[in-house]
A and B are shown apart, each in its own frame.
Chain A
Amino acid sequence: MSGTDNFDDLRDLYQEVILDHGRKPRHGQRLESFDSTAKGDNPMCGDRVQVWVKYDGDSLGRVGFEARGCAISVASADLMAETVQGPGKADTKALFEAFRTMARTGECPDCGGALDEPLERLAPLSGVHEYPSRVKCATLPWHALIAALDGTKEATSE
């Protein structure tokens, strides 16, 4: 079946980059040495994530995570870890707000602006806006990351 089936109807939401990062996350491990960590929990669907952060001066040096959940939550965690290495706390929080808007509306709130480049990288996840119940899957790792940055131990999505 897969020989002739190009899965067009499935791929518009689950783009190759999501499948790839969902299957083989690059940052899906705990950091041996870290400055802060926090857990995220979505009791509605049972998704769980823990995020570890190592600072490099004032900016985020490395981010690692362990996630149990769907392809979208794992891919989102991995794309997040990849995207936030380098910026400082304030920029990371601004990026989260912009990403959350994108996940909820499908629209990129700051494309062409200061966040153009990181939002472009996260854009494959914007398709979740069609599924309000799954927006939480994409934002859960971010809630955990922000909790780690704020020094709180646990976050729940929305």
Chain B
Amino acid sequence: MNVMTNPIGLDVERIRAGFPILTQTIRGKPLVFLDSAASAQKPRAVIDAMVQAMETQYANVHRGLHWMSERTTESYEACRDAAAALMNARDRAEIVFTGNSTGAINLLAHSYGRGVLQPGQAVLISGMEHHSNIVPWQLLREDRGIELRVAPVTDAGELDMAAYEALLQDGKVGLVAMTHMSNVLGTVTPAERIVQLAHAYGAKVMFDGSQAIVHRKVDVQALDCDFYVWTGHKLYGPTGIGVLWGRRELLEQMPPFFGGGDMISSVTYEKSTWAAVPHKFEAGTPAILEGIGLKAAIDYVQAIGYDALAAHEASLTEHALARLATVPDLRIIGQAQDRGGVVSFVLGKAHAHDVATLLDRQGIAVRAGHHCAEPLMHRFGVDSTARASFGVYTTHAEIDALADGLIRVRDFFA
């Protein structure tokens, strides 16, 4: 069971050598990092790109007429091209940089929610959303009288498609805002079908792709969705930069969110006019170094390729489900058919925080808690779960270490 499978030529040892942090030990034990869904580790290529920019080529962007500013603007704007190519966007102007996925969803809730949606319309989310795709819509509901609907999740942890369609049928839903992959259950939602149904009933669709884009090729034209958000730090890039992709014609309809420098065309005290998209939504000095780092991360992922990433992840997930099934008293939360490399579980009567701490004593990092998804915890009758999540550098041996570690925790509490 410890045999390293090698799907489509992914050389995990070589990949690991590119992540400096993985040589760290925790309490004298090798770091087993199984918390990539919270934030992924950074490859040397990303670290070097950011350091190199600071050491050799840095100034503010979009306004200086000097060499440094021009070069920095080129490197930063190259991230926009890379992000557009990554998602197969039609137009680089459809890539709006934000602070993270939460920032992107809040931008949408403010600008599209208050500028385009009308009171009496509804926003439809699913029962497996992260708080970041719940709370902005609650604020919108309270502010503008826009209804919030929730499509339920089945016992297996999949979207209840019949209930989803029923919630669309009265035609009041203006926007479906839904996860493309659950950060708790690992469920990958049927994005194409979600879009087809939403469009049939006149609703636009936003996907929260924070998890999905790490594991799957995202093609916004093939999905035919209207907005797609994700964050850099889960995709092996730096913190502090995320992406809102939107169809250009929709972005153009939307009013600005933040006002300030960089987002204007002209300013007088009587009236200001806005810059064209995407800059209309990018007030102030952007996350320049983070953009340069994210460009390196996207290049890194593209060089490996999503076919290899997805095959590696599928192999890890299959192995994890098989190994965790051998741990007595362990219950996996979420049994979706189509799932990614995120596995949540509870272990007998042991509290998830105790499980996580006792795994940490063994050098194994997992997340424990409600994972910013309290309503989903209630749905499955638990207060918290422990969660193991996998990245490009995760090995089968690390999953074996997790299973062995959990058996020890279980015996320790017995």
Contact = CB atoms under 8 A, between A and B. Distances in A.
A71 B351 contact: yes
Contacts of B354: 14, 70-72
Contact of B383 (A10, A46, A71): A46
Contacts of A60: none
Contacts, number: 57
Interface string B267-311: 000000000000000000000000000000000000000000000
Scoring A10, A13, A72, A137 by chain B CB atoms within 10 A of each residue's CB, the highest score goes to A10
A9 B363 CA distance: 10
Interface in A23-65: 23, 44-46
Interface of B: 27, 350-354, 357-358, 360-362, 369-370, 383-384, 407-409, 411-414
A69 interface: yes
B56 to A, nearest CB: 38
A70 B412 contact: no
Interface residues of A, number: 22
A134 B408 contact: no
Contacts of A153: none
Nearest to A2: B411
A1 interface: yes
Given A70-B354, A137-B353, A7 B408 contact: yes
Contact of B412 (A7, A46, A137): A7
A10 B370 contact: no
Given A14-B358, A70-B351, A5 B413 contact: no
B361 A9 contact: yes
A19 B357 CA distance: 14
10 contacts: A2-B412, A7-B408, A10-B358, A10-B409, A12-B361, A13-B357, A19-B413, A46-B370, A68-B383, A71-B354
A13 B412 CA distance: 12
Contacts of A10: 358, 361-362, 408-409, 412
Nearest to B411: A2
A131 B358 CA distance: 12
A2 B410 CA distance: 10
Scoring A9, A13, A44, A69 by chain B CB atoms within 10 A of each residue's CB, the highest score goes to A9
A1 B411 contact: yes
Contacts of B361: 9-10, 12-13
